[in-house]
Amino acid sequence: MSERKVLNKYYPPDFDPSKIPRMKLAKNRQYTVRLMAPFNMRCATCGEYIYKGKKFNARKEDVENEDYLGIRIYRFYIKCTRCLQEISFKTDPKNTDYEIEAGATRNFMALKLAEEQAKREEEEQKEEEANNPMKLLEYRTEQSRQEIEQLENLEELKELNRRQQAVDYEGMLRQYQPETVEERKAREEKEDNDFIKSVKFNNCSKKVVAEEIIEDVIDEDEPPSKCSRIESLTQKTSDKSDSIKKHSWNRSVGGLITKPALANLVRSKKPESAETSKFTTEALSKSNNAAESNTKSTKDKPASGLSLLAGYSSSDSSDS
């Protein structure tokens, strides 16, 4: 899509700008410009107030035979918003302001009038000092008196500041100001070193703790204590239960032990006391009687498959 407004136009190679006809315009012609009212004004015809900043479509022209240090002065024409009366004003480059010419009066010029009055009085004073030496002396004495008063006031303020300087504001700020990371590290290291120096270590030798093994030695001459009795009874009960289990196993299998001579292979421990030796002898006699009864029962009963198997296994073990 082509642009609606073309910025770069085409010029043919044989273009000659000198052949373009020039328009004959007036030397001081007017241009239409858009501007805002530079100050508050009031229409001289209908009394309408026009505030500063109101926008107008104005006509602009150069002021003939007037300039300021080579700067052009322009004149503007606007119309009242109520009665359409023409109002004209022009630029004032000397005072960097605008000057009303006709059709309205300027409002709220108090600041400008005060500045002009102060400037006028200053010029009159300079002329009077140049022409009257007595007035010049009076002005100088007045200025010196004012300077002395200012110096006295300054000394009083300095004295008040000296009284208030008793408080060390910098020290207070330094006290509550947080320390830096480097200062904190240095302080901690110094505290650690001081603490290490303050601690006093005693010359103590190294102590080696050896493990001590305590064994219970039972004397045969002494009567058994209560704990030893309990241990012997638990051992007896465990032996009795083992013998009962063994007896039941032999009965179920068919008498694996056929020779009563195997009972003689069991070696009894030395009796620790009279009671324990009596109990062990009774247990051994009972086990021997049970074995003899098992053998008799196996001889009386006919041989079964399990008994033959047991006899075969026992014969193999005896041959080996």
Give the model's pLDDT for residue 271.
47
Question: Are the C-beta atoms of residues 69 and 57 closer than 8 Å to each other?
Answer: no
Q: List binding-site positions.
A: 43, 46, 80, 83
pLDDT tens-digit profile of 211-263? 555 555 555 555 555 555 666 666 767 777 777 777 777 766 655 444 444 44
pLDDT tens-digit profile of 86-131? 999 999 999 888 999 999 999 877 777 888 899 999 998 888 888 8
DSSP state of 72: E
Please give the residue that has the higher pLDDT: either 19 or 280: 19
**Nearest CA among 288, 286, 242 for reference residue 265:** 288
- At residue 43, φ and ψ (nearest 5 deg) are -65, 135
Task: List residues bridging with 50 in a β-sheet.
Answer: 41
Query: How many whole angstroms separate alpha carbon 69 and alpha carbon 53?
Result: 29
207 token code pair: 């102590």
Average pLDDT over residues 283-302: 60
Question: Are the C-beta atoms of residues 99 and 90 closer than 8 Å to each other?
Answer: yes
Considering only 191-195, 229-233, 265-269, which range has the smallest mean pLDDT? 265-269
Considering only 99-113, 116-130, 137-151, 283-297, which range has the smallest mean pLDDT? 283-297
| Radius of gyration of the CA atoms of the chain, in A | 68
DSSP state of 274: H
Give the model's pLDDT for residue 282.
67
Query: How many whole angstroms separate alpha carbon 243 and alpha carbon 150?
Result: 130
Give the model's pLDDT for residue 261.
47
Q: Per the confidence metrics, is the pTM higher than 0.75?
A: no
Average pLDDT over residues 54-70: 93
Give the model's pLDDT for residue 320.
43
Question: Are the C-beta atoms of residues 275 and 223 closer than 8 Å to each other?
Answer: no
User: For residue 135, what are the CA distances in angstroms to 33, 129, 157, 164?
Assistant: 54, 6, 33, 44
Query: How many whole angstroms separate alpha carbon 167 and alpha carbon 175?
Result: 13
Q: Contacts from 262-266 at CB under 8 Å and sequence distance 24+?
A: 262/291, 263/287, 263/288, 263/291
- The three-state secondary structure class of 60 is strand
Please give the residue that has the higher pLDDT: either 82 or 300: 82
- The mean predicted confidence, pLDDT, of the chain is 76
Give the model's pLDDT for residue 4.
76
Give the model's pLDDT for residue 163.
77
Considering only 18-27, 121-130, 162-171, 267-276, which range has the smallest mean pLDDT? 267-276
| 26 has pLDDT over 60 | yes
Label residues 55-81 b or e (16+ Cβ within 10 Å = b).
Answer: ebebbeebeeeeeeeeeebebbbbbbe
36 token code pair: 């805002």
Question: Are the C-beta atoms of residues 107 and 72 closer than 8 Å to each other?
Answer: no
Give the model's pLDDT for residue 256.
47
Considering only 24-38, 46-60, 83-97, 220-234, which range has the smallest mean pLDDT? 220-234
Give the model's pLDDT for residue 183.
83
Give the model's pLDDT for residue 230.
62
Q: List binding-site positions for Zn(2+).
A: 43, 46, 80, 83
Average pLDDT over residues 71-97: 93
**Nearest CA among 54, 20, 49 for reference residue 37:** 54
Give the model's pLDDT for residue 32.
94
Alpha carbon 163 to chain centroid distance?
45
| 292 has pLDDT over 80 | no
**Nearest CA among 112, 138, 106 for reference residue 125:** 138
Classify residue 307 as exposed, middle or buried by CB count within 10 Å of its CB (0-12, 13-18, 19+): middle
